[in-house]
Amino acid sequence: MIANVVFYLGLLVSLGIAAVYLRDLGDIPQLLLKTKRSNVDRFIRNEYRFLAIGICALLAAAVARFGFGAGSGGVFWIGTLLALVLYAFTWVYVHLGLRNQKDRAQFYSIAEAREFVSPTSQVIVLEKNGVARAHPQAQIMRPHLAGTEDGLGGSDVVMTFCAIANLGLGMTPEVEGEKIELEVLAQHGNNLVLRDNATGEPIQQIYGFRARDADTSGDGPVCPLRPTLAMAPWPTFRMTFRGFQKAYPEGTVFLNKPSGNPILFLLDFAMEMAFTATIQKHHTEARPIMQNLERPIDPRLPTKSYVWGVNIGGDAVCWTDDFIVENGNIVNAAVGGQPLVIAWSPGYESLNVWINNTGAPVTEIDFFGQTANEKLERSPDVKPGLFWHVWAEFFPHTDINRQGDGSDKADKTTAA
């Protein structure tokens, strides 16, 4: 009797954990099911604890079966095979299929990159003192993270990218002198969820801080308990590859070349095929392919509009590129009390946001930030070219296409 209880309970527990593992971290079920953020966070924090419990439960069922003759042989083998397939699939998908390149990315010359990147392809750029790196979306889509041990110009910076949000952000993986060990684990709210392997804590890419460091004392915008608990954002901007070539002829380009390992090569090939099909659908249809948003989609803009968002303190604003173009390629605004210049550079096919410390509106600025009197610095607080529905999911209080200091709160949503 006891052996039968152990047998069936062990199989049930193991299969249950395997199914939840796939649901919360495997991505594919989220094409059909809506997963709660609390469930995703729980599995991220306790992944290997849950796996240990599941495997031990399976072993207990095996002991009950072969040591005491409990249960049915057919039930045991079917249950065991199904559980192991679910465990293996999810683990391989997350830890091998999504393996990142946060400290081993390879960057190539523009001449070599031309064989893999078309002239009009979007690239996400990090730059320091004229040293620039381009990250083509198709190349960074699957590894999600790209960086090198020696950093960019001596600065530790990692490019993070979420294809479902269409969001690339450069970040310094450090908090108050503590190294953050980033790994790609899941997505929720149509945005990448990372894990700090040093603490096991989930990190929402668009926020840039660990979940345990969130200030939960109020009902306002999500923010860390103190600013230093967020990874420092790096000025990140978008442009076409041909624009990058003109702006930074000595720049380098991230390429995710095929692995020399035949097993990883086949895995990567299958992952690329799956990613390309689902992301293409997601980018061309209004309905998000993964229905795990926690808020209704904000109707103020079309769902898949590209926006450039800035959040400073409790204030959040986003702009559409066509609005900037219609206003003479330049708009002056303030976010969280910080004056900004939002400018479209047609020669480089790039929209940039600059910190305006001149004390006056700026009427002319080039791609490199040069005004008539001085050079401005790019704002590190920009989320460039992400989907509107993702921006509004995490910053529902956002203003749209603001001009001036925001004292006029009437929505400026007529950017068509």
What is the pTM for the complete model shown? 0.92
Select from 207, 213, 214, 223 the least CA-distant residue to 171.
207
Instruction: Single out the residue in 48, 66, 97 at which a domain terminates.
Output: 97
Query: Would residue 285 count as lying in a domain?
Result: no
77 and 113 both lie in a single domain: no
What is the rounded distance in angstroms from the CA atom of residue 288 to the CA atom of residue 282?
6
213 and 130 both lie in a single domain: yes
250 and 311 both lie in a single domain: no
Q: What is the DSSP string of 268-301?
A: HHHHHHHHHHHHHHHHHSSS-SS---SSPPPTTS
Query: Would residue 375 count as lying in a domain?
Result: yes
Query: Would residue 170 count as lying in a domain?
Result: yes
What is the rounded distance in angstroms from the CA atom of residue 342 to the CA atom of residue 400?
13
Query: Would residue 147 count as lying in a domain?
Result: yes
Query: Would residue 291 count as lying in a domain?
Result: no
23 and 135 both lie in a single domain: no
233 and 111 both lie in a single domain: yes
89 and 129 both lie in a single domain: no
Give the strand pairing for 145-146 and 330-335.
Answer: unpaired
pLDDT at 220: 66
Q: Where is pLDDT greater, at 250 or 215?
A: 250
121 and 238 both lie in a single domain: yes
237 and 312 both lie in a single domain: no
29 and 86 both lie in a single domain: yes
Instruction: List residues bridging with 101 in a β-sheet.
Output: 146
Q: In this structure, are residues 69 and 3 in contact, taking their beta carbons and an 8 Å threshold?
A: yes
Q: Backbone dihedral region of 257: left (phi > 0), alpha (psi from -120 to 50 degrees) or beta?
A: beta
84 and 10 both lie in a single domain: yes
Query: Would residue 262 count as lying in a domain?
Result: no
On the 0-12 / 13-18 / 19+ scale of CB atoms within 10 A, 409 is exposed
Instruction: Single out the residue in 66, 97, 128 at which a domain terminates.
Output: 97
**pLDDT, tens digit (0-9, with 9 covering 90-100), for 351-399:** 999 999 999 999 999 999 999 989 999 999 999 999 999 999 999 999 9
- Percent of the chain whose predicted confidence (pLDDT) is above 90: 85
- The dihedral formed by the CA atoms of 300, 221, 172 and 253, expressed in degrees to the nearest 10: -10
Select from 116, 95, 103, 120 the least CA-distant residue to 21.
95
Instruction: Single out the residue in 190, 219, 254 at which a domain terminates.
Output: 254
Strands (E), 48-91: none
Give the CA distances from residue 102 to residues 180, 207, 233, 237, 326, in Å, rounded to whole numbers and listed in that order. 11, 18, 15, 19, 39
87 and 141 both lie in a single domain: no
Give the strand pairing for 131-136 and 330-335.
Answer: unpaired
**pLDDT, tens digit (0-9, with 9 covering 90-100), for 154-192:** 899 999 999 999 999 999 999 999 999 999 999 999 999
Domain count, the chain: 3
80 and 200 both lie in a single domain: no
The whole domain housing 311 covers: 306-400
